[in-house]
Structure 1
């Protein structure tokens, strides 16, 4: 039994950390399934304090891929597929040009700019109605570009989409489809670059499985909320995450 347990553990993790990540995956997936954002950022912050630095982003990416796939499957009838397909096309373009254009832009500047933009999108008094179908191509391009430098693209996307998609279930379903593709693209890149996902295989599998449990719990919470209650909750959550992004960027700028 001990030998079996040891075979499941990545060499860099203790048993406590291994179990902790699996349990936390339930709660972070539930948060994202209920509100669209928040869970991924929370999980990333925890993983950054447990996993080796070179494994944080790829392992987080493939776990998020699995988590968003679970949300896509459970919310598929609510997804705006046409808008999502245009978004996917934009992702491909953004990924190709991102590294060539932004390599000279400091990450902390991007954090400040993005945090400010998200706050404006969240609190401005007018409604944005123009970002549909083909315009979501631009949204996909921009977020994929930013994904190379700051891990908060979900906040960017939902702060825009919440003005367009009023039904909470349609918003969460469409977000899941869009984010699934972005994480898939990230995982493909790391695989091509030679990252050994197999070294973390059991952790990834178990975190995805526990994350699906969290997705079901979060979906039940989402179904119990009204669109108005959801709107208030998501506005508060986006604001907190944007302020954290601003704080990180400003602090890095001052200390740098």
Structure 2
């Protein structure tokens, strides 16, 4: 929980603004793919077609915005989005209104092109629709995997050169896989009443730091 958001806030330390989202997509492909592999039998396949269709529509629409966006603004956009999603009740209420898997797929995958980690829209809806925890984890992993594949496809089409970041991608993919393995063993030992406030505080501090750092670099 929060791993994708933490990653997207750390990547500006290692890659150019234009590479943040595509590198994030490949890393999360490894993360979600490995998590799905451990829970494949629990996947609720009947929910996939509507979400997949929404994802295709979402990335098609949002890709038009992506090619016109100044890449220097991407870290600013990410930081502002995360701060609003963490602290604005109005934004939180707005996100909670999307109860359709087509709409959630379009927003989750489409917004992911611009902000990398658009928040747990699909997970929130899955918790309302599915009673089994393993089914939620497996289906959410597949949803995210679909979004990652859609994003990577868009960046390949527009000419992003993933090969230039091969060493970074190797490190992040290995780290994501190791993190999934380690997190699975540690999460049962951390109480939720401690874990979630810590994650929210960490994300807030990192978002503020990226916001001010990016503003300084953009204005200078």
The reply to whether TM is greater than 0.5 is yes
CA contact (8 A) 2:55 2:102 kept: yes
The offset of 1:235, in angstroms, is: 6.3
Matched, 1:76 2:40: yes
**Aligned residue runs from structure 1 range 32-181, under 5 A:** 37-99=1-63, 114=85, 116=88, 119-120=92-93, 131=99, 135-181=100-146
Report the TM-score when normalising by structure 2.
0.70
**Aligned residue runs from structure 1 range 234-245, under 5 A:** 236=197
**Matched residue count:** 205
Q: CA separation in 1, counterparts of 2:51 and 2:189?
A: 28
Which residue of 156, 163, 171 corresponds with 1:198?
A: 163
Cα deviation digits, residues 133-185 of structure 1 (max 9, x gap): xx312210122332233333242322333333343332222211111111111
Matched, 1:207 2:172: yes
Report the TM-score when normalising by structure 1.
0.62
Cα deviation digits, residues 37-56 of structure 1 (max 9, x gap): 31111112111122222222
Q: CA separation in 1, counterparts of 2:163 and 2:93?
A: 42
Please identify the structure whose Cα radius of gyration is greater: 1
Q: CA separation in 1, counterparts of 2:200 and 2:91?
A: 8
Structure-2 change in CA distance of 1:97 and 1:244 (3 Å): farther
**Aligned residue runs from structure 1 range 219-238, under 5 A:** 219-222=184-187, 224=188, 236=197
Q: Higher helix fraction: Structure 1 or Structure 2? A: 2
Structure 1, unaligned runs of 5 or more: 1-36
Superposition RMSD on alpha carbons, in Å? 4.0
The offset of 1:62, in angstroms, is: 0.9
Cα deviation digits, residues 222-241 of structure 1 (max 9, x gap): 5x479xx66x6786578668
Give 2:72's aligned residue.
none
